[in-house]
Structure 1
Amino acid sequence: MNRLNGKTAVITGGATGIGLAAAKRFIEEGAFVFIFGRRQDALDAAVAELGPNARAVQGSVADLADLDRLYAAVKAERGSLDIVFANAGAGSQLALGKITAEHIDDIFDTNVKGTIFTVQQALPLMGRGGSIILTGSSAGTTGAPAFGAYGASKAAVRNLARSWAEDLKGTGIRVNVLTPGSIATELAREALGEEGMKAFAAMNPLQRMADPSEAGAVAAFLASPDSSFMTGSEVAVDGGLAQV
């Protein structure tokens, strides 16, 4: 399948988890991919795994100068950009009564500010047929103890897609949200442990956690012409967690 043949993609948070799985799938389907993240060692390992149709740029989505370097690299090598997967995210738990300004800044700088500027800085390189994908979360729909700031940031991401679908009228550029639930990423395994993974798996109707490749497959669909009549939409990859 070569739905993305000749396309150029940027994936933030692309060195691990959903981002890396999406990068693999995009390349399998013919795309050239730039991954962007904060850890140079993880980026180097990812590019070694992804092969010659991948490049890595180190930086933070919360830093406009870093994003400018990313898009300068894209322009210099590829000239234009077809797909932006704004996937970088941050989250931690603090219950109401213990929330700090630093906690809010850490989450919102990455999940909201970072998403906004990842997309805004990319627009001059994009044209008709372009696809923007934002990573949401089931936490943006459901409530969970101590996840108020994180859930609020992901609810904001969902609304950005709705607003940007209006802003992008007439450009031929689409914007949609991929909303994962429990994904068995490396980070999840480290944070939850075996018992925690089992507990999370039991929370959705499919009673398992998703492999990152399952989210990557949906990202490829949203990036491709197969989703050409979708914009402002949300696709839940959550095993039904927030749907029933």
Structure 2
Amino acid sequence: METISSTTLKLHSPLPTHRLAGRVALITGGAGKIGIETAGRFLREGANVVLVDNNASALEAALNVLREAVFSGELVCSRLLTIKAEVTDETQVEECVKESVKQFKRLDVAFLNAGTGTVVGSEESACWETGLEEFERVMRGNVRSAFLCLKHVAAAMRDLGNGGSIILTSSVAGLHGSPGHIAYSASKFALRGLALTAAEELGPYGIRVNTIHPSRVETPMFRNSCSREKMEELRAAIPLGRCAQVDDVASVVDFLASEDSKFMTGGFLKIDGGSVPF
């Protein structure tokens, strides 16, 4: 039996508390609940953050919230950049990445969180009832946007030569069939294909690519769109007995952004309370 004489850790030293110190992280869909929660976590971990969203007023509101996460004595503008952009437009995506690198001189993390779903309050529709317009809307919002951001972020990280971590927001709908939501499920499965291929292509440059797969996240919009009975039905189907919260997602993204996940790429992490049993 091999004798263990040491570990890779300096056991007499505390673990680092600011795991992202000196890093730069770009978040698309940055003015949404998950984007803001993750940005706050990144800032507290020491990262500089770029928030990208197509809603200018929501970005302004996010900036006001995130001021609290900036360390005392630091200027908000030195840690946080907001960019209004449409991430389904390649020119705007390319400019976002260039502006981020120009502002902070590096790019280490990209959380590709922008996306769309079915229209709140809309009826489920079988595959033969789903219109081409709806299918193309969902694919554009979820797949085209992720592809364009992945393309330009990957090129920037490769050229900068510091490695990096790219995280794509998929869904549990990207792990199993979702009757009534064929366009959404197809789009979320497609993100796994993007991530798996990019992980192999970018590995030699030290760039990792992974997907996260949350179940329904309990936000005010989600609660307002569901009856009380439906909410109880959804919670009952989850072994942990509750829906996901935004911090459940942000904490996993933070892990994938940090060196704690440095040997993970091409992977998928469920954030589902055990509702998908594999």
Matches within 5 A, 1:132-211: 132-211=166-245
Structure exhibiting the larger radius of gyration computed from Cα positions: 2
Change (3 A) 1:6 1:139: same
**Bigger mean CA offset, 155-164 vs 229-238:** 155-164
Q: Deviations over 1:92-130 (max 9, x none)?
A: 143222211211111111211110111111123213330
Which of 44, 61, 65 matches 1:49? Answer: 65
What is the aligned-residue identity percentage? 37
Matches within 5 A, 1:64-143: 64-92=90-118, 93-126=124-157, 127-143=161-177
* Contact 1:182 1:201 survives alignment (8 Å): no
Query: What does residue 7 of structure 1 align with?
Result: 23
Q: Which runs of 5+ in 1 are unaligned?
A: none
Number of corresponding residues: 244
Q: Deviations over 1:9-29 (max 9, x none)?
A: 111111122222111111111
Q: Deviations over 1:172-198 (max 9, x none)?
A: 000011110121123322332544333
Which of 36, 56, 72 matches 1:20? Answer: 36
TM-score, normalized by length of structure 1?
Answer: 0.95
Give the secondary-structure state (helix, strand or coil) at the position aligned to 1:5: coil
Moved over 4 A (4+): none
Change (3 A) 1:134 1:2: same
How far apart, in 1, do the equivalents of 2:57 and 2:255 lie?
29
* Contact 1:17 1:187 survives alignment (8 Å): no
* Contact 1:22 1:216 survives alignment (8 Å): yes
Task: Please report how far the alpha carbon of residue 6 of structure 1 lies from its aligned counterpart in structure 2 after TM superposition.
Answer: 1.0
TM-score, normalized by length of structure 2?
Answer: 0.83
* Contact 2:154 2:202 survives alignment (8 Å): no
**Bigger mean CA offset, 165-174 vs 186-195:** 186-195
* Contact 1:135 1:177 survives alignment (8 Å): yes
Give the secondary-structure state (helix, strand or coil) at the position aligned to 1:75: helix
Asked whether 1:231 is paired with 2:265, we answer yes
How far apart, in 1, do the equivalents of 2:249 and 2:133 lie?
30
Query: What does residue 36 of structure 1 align with?
Result: 52
Give the secondary-structure state (helix, strand or coil) at the position aligned to 2:154: helix
* Contact 2:237 2:275 survives alignment (8 Å): yes
Residue type of the alignment partner of 1:22? T
